[in-house]
A and B are shown apart, each in its own frame.
Chain A
Amino acid sequence: MSVDVVAERPRTVPQAVARRAQEDPLWLRVTLIVAALAVIGILVIVPVANVFVEALREGLGTYFANLFGDPDTRHAVLLTLTVVPIALVANTVFGIAAAWTIARFRFPGRTLLTALIDLPFSVSPVVAGLMFVLIFGLQGYLGPFLRRDGYAVMPYLIALVAVVVAVVSFLLLRPVGRKARQGLWGRTWIVLPLLAVTVFAVVLLPQLYLEVWPRNESLKIIFATPGLVLATAFVTFPFVARELIPTMEALGADEELAAVSLGASGWQMFRDVTIPNIKWGLAYGIILCNARAMGEFGAVYVVSGHIAGQTDTMPLRIEKLFQEYNLPGAFAVASVLTLLALVTLVAKIQLERRVPSTAKLFREETHERPQ
């Protein structure tokens, strides 16, 4: 029969037949769909819904009392709202810098750097926390010094940051092209060291003479807020950089080169060309980074010291409330984190429509440049 059909109409098969051949039988499709829905229901929807059910079990009044009535819980929320933005700003700055370096330059060790950026993802958060204990702990490398006279480093640290900001600003703001660089802008190799030394001295010396920082006092890093920030920033470091590297590589440097050739300074190019191009990818990275930073438990657990009302972030507080048999309290805080996760999810879906996918960018690129 089928041989006849083929003989009559060679090279074409009726569309309906073709479709049927590609499709699985109805019972199989239904079974698979039901199975998938059941798995998602049991593993995702029921537990998430349960968080809210448990949190609201004793009514809205108790729910808000649990969230805002307990000073330790209140402090945990505030602490998370302090730690996360700082980690986020740091990761945004370093993420852009790292992505820029990797996407725009070819240098020895570039592959290694790319791999190192991913390191925080592959290292267990507990190990990450322990690394900071080993560095800043009393038995660690810097601990004894920090304990004895920790604030002594602050003037130098701040002066160093100021130098980096000044040097980067100089490089970003100077006009592009030899002719445009008049006067001081042109003498980079004289001006830059001078600038660095001057800024260092100007920032450092007043701090030393005015004794802004206390002497012989211990500077707390771990078991205090700075340690929580470090641990959070370390664990969430890859999000922004990883989001930006493919975007920037796919976009290529053409538009930036065009801007520079038209006389834009580094900063103008960055602000008017680079940022508009990467903004959705950047926002996407920041949102993911934020979600992970808020929920971080392992690394923070190791460096926190578990001081109620002082170093407990929201996830740590949830664990503590749970252990104290205060289930409604634990679920109330958990519901806030879950709500944040849902908001993140919605924002992520919204952004995904705007972020040009890498594949699409490559397609456009090859299309525009016929070889």
Chain B
Amino acid sequence: MNAFVRYGAMLMLAAAAPLLGAPRGHAAEIALLNVSYDPTRELWRALNAEFIPYYEKTTGNKLTIKQSHGGSSTQARAIIDGLDADVVTIASIIDTNAIANKGLIEAGWVDRLPQRSLPYYSTIVFVVRKGNPKGIKDWPDLVKPGVEIVTPNPKTSGNGYLSFFSAWGSVIVRGGSREDAVDYVTKLYKQVPVLDSGARGATTTFVQKQIGDVHLAWENEARLEVKEAKGELEIIYPPISIRAEPHVAVVDANVDRKKTRAAAEAYLKWLYTDTAQEIIAKNFYRPSNDQILKKHASHFPPVKLFPITDIAASFEDAHKQFIGDGGVFDGIYKPKS
């Protein structure tokens, strides 16, 4: 019994010790937290491995970078609730603006970095089964009878609403009317057997549960998926798709409090260097530096990427019109029972 009490007391002391010792840090040791979305783990791991030694050599400071990954909206919510992110690199400007609207990122953040704060961009492509048995080449092929489509729920997933915007734009940008577009997406979502809540869930449905003939996925996810499937899957690049824009931003409120602004800004600016752009291209994100993009042209077959402004005023406007409550999606999609 006495041993028990002693053990308990020791544990409590042990628990209290880090609390007493923790708060004092050294000026030359900097720790950054990069809060990002789901599929970018491999990308940021590769970028950090390159940036950390570079930064330590040029400034003499010691740097560590921690990563946090999850659904874009979940991550934005966590930052709003106090997650100590120094930089935020999530998938959609809608979520980044949600953080900005709480005053954590200063207004006008988009123009503080080159290329409208876009070190890279991406798009939505098709993944099909080996040999493309249903002969899917372009958006109209998706609504042929008997084709089953896998894509996540546009209400909860970035991949989900980008798929919707792509499908919508494939009609509008080619000169179709709004009625044609509504007609097309109505048919398309009738052929979706299940709407997963996130990108990785949809991948599991398509790859492991073997449901569906075509998977509408992020370009980089599609490459990874095809690689993991070892020859069972193929990528099809449609002639036209959306230009998806995962912005990066410094979280002003946090870097000012943690006094990490200099490092955080250097980190994001470094993303535009040739070294970083090369790494980005090798991880199948389209680098915003056109020269590097051209160099890796074999990775990135030409797809006409239309900007969101072709179908709406902005991503927020598109989301409100098409996905938000009472939007187009609510009118056309009836869950199967």
Contact = CB atoms under 8 A, between A and B. Distances in A.
B11 A138 contact: no
Given A85-B11, A309-B66, A223 B82 contact: yes
Contact of A143 (B41, B82, B200, B228): B82
B299 to A, nearest CB: 20
Contacts of A154: 19
Contacts of B257: 147, 218
Interface stretch (B67-75, B115-123, B157-165): B67-75
Contacts of A210: none
B23 to A, nearest CB: 4
B106 interface: no
A27 interface: no
B70 A306 contact: yes
Which of under 10, 10 to 19, 20 to 34, or 35 or more describes the interface residues of A? 35 or more
B82 A147 contact: yes
B78 interface: yes
Contacts of B38: 323
Contacts of A305: 68, 78, 83
Interface residues of B, number: 32
A339 to B, nearest CB: 23
Contacts of B12: 86, 89
Nearest to B85: A305
B200 A89 contact: no
Contacts of B83: 223, 305
A89 B11 contact: yes
A365 interface: no
A237 interface: no
Contacts of B228: 325
A323 B200 contact: yes
Interface in A259-312: 271, 275-276, 279, 305-310
Interface string A123-151: 00000000001001111100100010001
Contacts of B69: 306, 308, 320
B8 interface: yes
A337 B200 CA distance: 24
Contacts of A82: 15
Contacts of A58: none
Contacts of A279: 1
B218 to A, nearest CB: 14
B81 A133 contact: yes
A324 B41 contact: yes
Contacts of B15: 82, 85-86, 89
Given A89-B8, A307-B33, A138 B24 contact: no
A255 interface: no
A213 B23 contact: yes
Nearest to B81: A137
Contact of B81 (A93, A140, A276, A307): A140
A275 B1 contact: yes
Contact of B78 (A136, A213, A223): A223
Q: Which of A93, A137, A151, A323 gathers the greatest number of chain B CB atoms within 10 Å?
A: A323
Question: Quick one: which of A212, A275, A320, A325 has the most chain B CB within 10 A?
Answer: A325
B15 to A, nearest CB: 5
A306 B68 contact: yes
Nearest to B225: A325
Interface of B: 1, 8, 11-12, 14-15, 18-20, 23-24, 33, 38, 41-42, 66-70, 75, 78, 80-84, 102, 200, 224, 228, 257
18 contacts: A85-B11, A85-B15, A86-B12, A86-B15, A136-B82, A137-B82, A139-B81, A214-B23, A214-B24, A217-B23, A218-B84, A222-B81, A305-B78, A306-B69, A307-B33, A307-B67, A308-B66, A309-B66
